[in-house]
Copies of this chain bind each other. A is one copy, B any other.
Amino acid sequence: MDIVEVAQKAGVSTATVSRVLNGSNKVRESTAARVRAAVEELNYRPNSYARSLRSGRSNLFGIIVSDIRNPFFPDLIEHFESLATQHGIDVTIANTGYSEKRLVAAVSRLLERGVDGLAIFTSEVSDAAVSLLRPASIPIVVLNQPSLASDFEIVSVDYIQGFIEAIEHLRMLGHQKIGFIAGPATQSSAVRRRKAFLAAVKSCHLALRDDWIFEGDHRLTGGKFAAESLFSMRHRPTAMVCSNDMTAIGFLESASRLGHKVPEEVSLIGFDDLFLCEIVHPSLTTLHLSRKEIATRAFYCLQSARGECREHLPAVISPYLVPRASTGRVPNTKVRKGRM
């Protein structure tokens, strides 16, 4: 059941069949109809390997993520896959588990597989990976690695802008003492968020004590530990901003276990806006980072680069604040009243 059979059945040459199947306009409608009928009747499906071998195109995109269990990524994947499907493109996926070794392996595998485009959504792209990627002749888009802008397409998040919004929101509620729970220093996306927070603080002319910055791990645990430390301090911030939602949720849990109330005693803001934010108590005020937007920009970067219309638009995504129940007016403790 190859193209030859179809051609015979339709009484045309294989070239014509191919043209019909690939939508070339250089074929008479009556002939095309005959070919389509033959295709239908024989239930012919072109061999995708032969097709790719000859045409040099696979219609397959690769997508690499740090951690598919982190609800952020399934969202990203879903939008990307859905868009790809609409354009007749399949998606193959690789998960690195934050391991740079696995990243390199994934890149190498996907390039060898011959994907037509590659989207890399990991917190870090190591040099080893870059040197594998650079010579590749396919479009590549990378999330949040501005330093690679000269080599690849970049989609990035304006963290500073996001944190500024968070800080303004807290200020409106009267907060002046704002702390931060960072992510792991080993993860470059976390480092980037931390720096952005500091920059935002600066641009808001806010005082920030060093001991109001807590080290977390972007998981529940980090938030839990931070809460324990915080509530054992004498001079506490009245509001905490977190590097991501998981951290904030861990904080929330620990706080409630320790008998402290959010937002009555301390306001809390997360980052990402996972669906979890609406499930937890109190629901979590957070910075919404649109996965749909990221996926869309990334996808079209690849598509347009494939279409050879390489425009180097820097794609910047702006997070925005979603106020929920975990932020409230600054607590007017007796002590402070007395001092005022």
Contact = CB atoms under 8 A, between A and B. Distances in A.
Interface of A: 45-50, 52-53, 58, 60, 68-69, 71, 73-75, 77-78, 81-82, 85, 90-95, 105-106, 109-114, 220, 249, 253, 256, 275-276, 279-281
A78 B49 contact: no
A278 to B, nearest CB: 8
B53 A81 contact: no
A114 B112 CA distance: 17
B281 A281 contact: yes
Given A49-B49, A249-B279, A90 B113 contact: yes
Given A48-B113, A85-B109, A276-B279, A93 B77 contact: yes
A81 B95 contact: yes
A83 to B, nearest CB: 12
A77 B46 CA distance: 29
Nearest to A69: B74
Nearest to A106: B85
Contacts of A111: 45
A217 to B, nearest CB: 15
A81 B94 contact: yes
A256 B276 contact: no
Given A69-B71, A94-B81, A53 B47 contact: yes
Contacts of A94: 81, 85, 90
Contacts of A110: 90
A34 to B, nearest CB: 22
8 contacts: A47-B114, A49-B52, A60-B113, A73-B74, A77-B93, A85-B106, A90-B110, A93-B93
B114 A48 contact: yes
Contacts of A109: 85, 90
Contact of A49 (B114, B249, B253): B114
